[in-house]
Amino acid sequence: MSDEMLTAQDLVQQGAVHAVSFLLQHGCNEATANQMLESLRANAGHIREEAARRGKSLFKQDQVASSES
């Protein structure tokens, strides 16, 4: 794994840790989760725009858990 990938993986993991710990601290309810998702999606949109400006390719849409079994 390259240094860049290692750093990226650490950032992803720390973001997940922060999100779960926030929910545990503030109450894991639908309203809080939806507020967090709205903020994350807005930030992801800005990141995608900047990546496109730089000629880079990222996920074209959010990666969400499926409710299908």
Q: What is the 3-state secondary structure (H, E, C) of the chain?
A: CCHHHHHHHHHHHHHHHHHHHHHHHHCCCHHHHHHHHHHHHHHHHHHHHHHHHCCCCCCCCCCCCCCCC
Helix (H), strand (E) counts: the chain: 2, 0
| Tens digit of each residue's pLDDT (9 = 90 or more) over 15-30 | 999 999 999 999 889 9
pTM above 0.85, yes or no: no
Give yes or no for residue 68 having a pLDDT over 60: no
For residue 59, the one-letter residue type is F
